Amino acid sequence: MDYQNTLKYLYESVPMFQQIGSKAYKPGLETTHKLDEYFGHPHQQFKTIHIAGTNGKGSCSHTIAAVLQCAGYRVGLFTSPHLIDFRERIRINGEMIPEEYVVNFVEEHRAFFEPLHPSFFELTTAMAFRYFADQKVDVAVIEVGMGGRLDCTNIIHPDLCVITNIGLDHTQYLGDTLTKIAKEKAGIIKEEVPVVIGRAEGAVKRVFTMKAKEMNAPIEYARENSREWNMEILTYPKLQKIRTEMDEVIQTIYQIIEAIDAQSEEQGNQMRQALLMLDISNSIHAIDQILDKRKDAIRINNEMFPFGLFTELSGAYQFENMFTILKALAALTRLNYNIKPQNYFDGFANVCQLTGLMGRWQKVHSYPDII
């Protein structure tokens, strides 16, 4: 079969939730474990980060992947659904899985999986894990398909779990209240594995707190200790203005340093080191990258980024995701992931280019603007 016929076979031969709904939903992990055993437990050959939640999973997954790429890791990314091409679901450092791999995977293994009658998502997950192992990724960011506890991605033992938020989604499968849905999504929390929670209040928060306690899992809520963080949407003209203002700030600082140099070269060098620690040059570089794409941006100011961390994902709803992403990256740093401040700047400013992210308040044309 060629690629198009392989896709036709997949869409028509294995139940696909987007096409037939509840008939494709297979609760339980029995089939997933059989596939995993057959393929040699590939997810055990690389590190993983597991991301669940009602909204924001895609943006969080792609941004975390982008920063890890900039830190020098070979990063697998498994997300769903796709917008145009099936291969969007399975990427390594932004590159989609080759058509040839998809074709060969189906042809070589259909004799095994056809009698199992896996769902489309079960088979796609097995393909992703096997591909990431074959390509020797360092770490894979794995987005939950639906829920968490019974989702077929939940066979992994990740370094970090992230749950973005809870809303009334897929109530016929996950429960008809927020607490019931929270219990399903809390099912990804593993023994002693740190978990970051995006937005949670009241009874939903208690669900996560109790589950984390049961699993001896360190838990952190994205909004905790974040009161001094400021975020704002910057239109393209405002971003241009800030870029000019930053140039003026740097010129003023260098004039001050030159004056200090005249008195004490040692003090001047200390000032230069302090300037480097403020990362203003990285902020300017990030702004330039976003301006080159004629995009708006979100600026994030906190103790780590006093002059601002800039992301090209500029929808207002991204504010919540940014809190979650920053707490998740900080957690990974504590887990000895080698992530430097510059990796944040480059990753946040170039999420779409680095990972292939589409469809999040995406500007596809200028003059006239088309969103």
The region of weakest confidence among 102-106, 214-218, 251-255 is 251-255
Q: What is the pLDDT of residue 259?
A: 67
Mean of all residue pLDDT scores within the chain: 90
The answer to whether 198 and 171 are in contact (CB under 8 A) is: no
- CB atoms near residue 319 (< 10 Å): 14
Taking residues 5-14, report their average pLDDT: 88
**67 has pLDDT over 50:** yes
In the sheet with 230-234, reading across from the earlier edge strand, the strands are 230-234, 297-301, 309-311
Residues 6+ apart with CB under 8 A from 347: 63, 66, 67, 68, 69, 70, 354
Domain extents in the chain: 3-221, 230-355
Residues 6+ apart with CB under 8 A from 74: 92, 93, 135, 136, 137, 138, 139
Specify whether domain 3-221 bears CATH 3.40.1190.10: yes
How many whole angstroms separate alpha carbon 72 and alpha carbon 338? Answer: 9
Torsion angle in degrees (nearest 10) through CA of 328, 329, 334, 335: 80
Q: How confident is the model at residue 324 (pLDDT cuts 50, 70, 90)?
A: very high
Taking residues 270-290, report their average pLDDT: 77
Q: How confident is the model at residue 21 (pLDDT cuts 50, 70, 90)?
A: very low
For 11, 45, 123, 148, 338, the CA distances from 133, given in Å and listed in that order, are 25, 6, 16, 23, 21
Q: Which residues of 341-365 are buried (b: 16+ CB within 10 A; e: fewer)?
A: eebbbbbbbbbbebbbbeebeebee
Tens of pLDDT, residues 295-314:
899 999 998 898 899 999 99
75-78 and 90-92 beta bridge pairing: antiparallel
The sign one gets for the Cα dihedral 350, 355, 361, 365 is positive
- CB atoms near residue 110 (< 10 Å): 16
Tens of pLDDT, residues 23-62:
545 567 999 999 999 999 999 999 999 999 999 999 999 9
- CB atoms near residue 18 (< 10 Å): 12
The answer to whether 335 and 160 are in contact (CB under 8 A) is: yes
How many whole angstroms separate alpha carbon 244 and alpha carbon 238? Answer: 10
Torsion angle in degrees (nearest 10) through CA of 316, 319, 324, 325: 80
Tens of pLDDT, residues 86-103:
999 999 999 999 999 999
pTM for this entry: 0.91
